[in-house]
A = this chain, B = another copy of it.
Amino acid sequence: MIETLSMKPKLPVAVIGASGYSGEELVRILLGHPYVELTAITSRQYAGKPLAEVFPRLAKLPKAEKLQFVQADVTAISLVAEAVFLALPHGVAAEYAIPLIKQGKRVFDLSADFRLRDPNVYQEFYGHTCPAPELLSLAVYGLPEIYREKIRTAQLVACPGCYPTSILLPLIPLLQRKMLDPASIIVASLSGVSGAGRKTEVDYLFCECNESVRPYGVPKHRHLSEIEQELSIAAGQPVTIQFVPHLVPTNRGIVSTIFGQPIGGPVLGTSAQAFLAEVTQTYQNAYKHEPFVRLLGDKRLPDTKHVIGTNYIDIAWRIDPRTGKLIIMSAIDNLIKGASGQAVQCMNIAYNLNETLGLA
């Protein structure tokens, strides 16, 4: 864009836990962001090493050359950063969020530590005590299309998981308008391997994933906790859904295929078209001005290769007049719209910047 960039000072930003796949992607996006100055990146493992050595792909991005990994020291980071991204494991993120929040920093957390409003649900799904229940009331769920206004002023943004993003954006408008029977919702998702992070476990070795397709986390994947929380809010009633994720041999990308029954029962034969039109209208109303939602409607079907490397979510839908059910399909890049891109989108909102900066 040929914008005449104003003299606006740059926002100093740090990334704590920058060595995983989401962290790497965050660094890439922030280095290319015209109003951000990335002042610190941390990694236990790589502390002392230049960014260029650890992530050669990013070596010559503007200002990448002088960046070096450091140990995560909250005091030191507070001196150089205004906004802090946490790309840390569940349970660990809170340790850093607590002091940062106290020092008045704005925190964008990519872990699950602040996504759930109810600490008991956290305990149920994550198997350990919610690490900072006192901060939950501060946290805003970082789904810009739904919580944009709250994100503007939030001090703590809990960025959604990858599967939840791909499922919530298609479902929320329909549940808000009470178009689908919540009890009928079934989701099958397919994810690339980067969703598992840079974990050195046998299951994620090349030879174990290549030429392999497998369901996992059945029937109670952790992400159900935030998915059901947000669907319940949208529906105005408790929602429990069925969700089965599958691991497929790609680096990136998630497809979620969602099945649901119209709230009044199957829409068979000719009533199918009327319902379909209503769905289309609902999506148009909800998302037509959204910069990162692409409505494929009933013409095309999503394909991860069309969203990889972007912050878009592609959404398509079909009605089956034989069963009277609705099928919605979405695709995102799990590391961008499903993690780091969405976090930066939230940061843009929080700092009153053009929401697409760094993400086009």
Task: Let me know if B301 and A216 touch, CB within 8 A.
Answer: yes
Are A190 and B210 CB-contacts (below 8 A) given A200-B202, A205-B198, A218-B301?
Answer: no
Are B219 and A320 interface neighbours, CB within 8 A? yes
- Give the contact-size bracket for chain A: 35 or more
**A57–B333 alpha-carbon span in the complex (Å):** 11
Asked whether B255 lies within 8 Å of A305 as measured between CB atoms, the reply is no
Judge whether A312 is part of the interface by a CB distance below 8 angstroms.
yes
Contact B213 A250 (CB under 8 A): yes
> Of B2, B34, B201, which one neighbours A10 at CB under 8 angstroms?
B2
A61 touches which one: B214, B294, B360 (CB < 8 A)?
Answer: B360
- List CB contacts (< 8 Å) of A153-192 with chain B: 183, 186, 188, 190, 192
Contact B190 A213 (CB under 8 A): yes
**Copy number in this complex?**
4
A2 near B34: Cβ-Cβ < 8 Å: yes
Which chain B residue has the least Cβ–Cβ distance from A191?
A: B213
Q: A91 contacts the other chain (Cβ, under 8 Å)?
A: no
Roughly how many angstroms separate A75 CA and B253 CA in the complex, as a whole number? 42
CB within 8 Å of B: which A297-344 residues: 300-310, 312, 314, 318-320, 322-323, 325, 327, 329, 331
Min C-beta distance of A304 to chain B, whole Å: 5
The CA-CA distance from A241 to B207 in the complex, in Å, is 30
* Interface residues as binary, A1-29 with B (CB distance below 8 Å gives 1, 0 otherwise): 11111100010000000000100000000
Contact digits for A199-232, partner B, Cβ 8 Å, 1 yes 0 no: 1111011111111111110111000000000000
**CB < 8 Å: which of B5, B210, B306, B360 contacts A4?**
B5
Given A188-B188, A211-B251, also A60-B2 (CB < 8 A): no
Q: Can you name 20 A-B pairs with beta carbons within 8 Å?
A: A2-B35, A21-B207, A56-B303, A56-B306, A57-B305, A186-B259, A188-B188, A204-B206, A205-B205, A206-B210, A208-B305, A210-B210, A210-B251, A211-B250, A211-B252, A211-B253, A214-B301, A214-B305, A218-B327, A249-B249
